[in-house]
Structure 1
Amino acid sequence: MSFDIHDHRHRLKQLRDGGETKLFENRDGMACPACGEPFSRLFSTRQTTTRFPAPGDARFCLVAPDDEFVHLFSH
């Protein structure tokens, strides 16, 4: 499975950019590439270990494509 954030950037609102980590809000009801349901936020990181902002009682999906970022989708 692949997910290129640049292909969907126009549908996301960037909330944070720390270089190695990025946080986006889904402003267009885009479907999660892992489960097909709309997600609320997307956390992307290049780091092998990191902390991420967890919004309340969220459910998460993880997409680890062959590129350098790992994508965590919260529902």
Structure 2
Amino acid sequence: MAASIDLEALRHRLKLLRDTGETTLLENRDGVECPVCDEPFDEVLETRERTRTLSADEDIHLCLLRERDKVLLFTHARVGGLP
């Protein structure tokens, strides 16, 4: 498993959905693998905010990667009830 991920290097494979300056939401358009579980993720939320409130659907599996200056949250849609 990768220890980190370079989202800037992968931007051509991801679609920007939202960018507030402190938080960025990107959609995976090309099967990029999650650095936590090695499975392709659906979206990644990158934030430098100290606090953040999130709402998640119960059919979503989450992976969290904490880097020195940011936190990345990867979402995976559950298929067939698998985690």
- The bucket for the TM-score relative to the shorter chain is 0.7 to 0.9
Answer with 1 or 2: which has the greater Rg.
2
- Highest relative contact order (Cα 8 Å, sep 6+), 1 or 2? 1
Residue in structure 2 matched with residue 24 of structure 1 by the alignment: 26
TM normalised by structure 2 equals 0.80
What are structure 2's unaligned runs of at least 5 residues? 77-83
TM normalised by structure 1 equals 0.88
Percent identity (aligned): 49
Residue in structure 2 matched with residue 70 of structure 1 by the alignment: 71
C-alpha RMSD of the superposition: 1.4
Secondary structure in 2 matching 1:15: strand
Number of residue pairs aligned between Structure 1 and Structure 2: 74
Distance 1:31 1:47, change over 3 A: same
Distance 1:23 1:39, change over 3 A: same
What are structure 1's unaligned runs of at least 5 residues? none
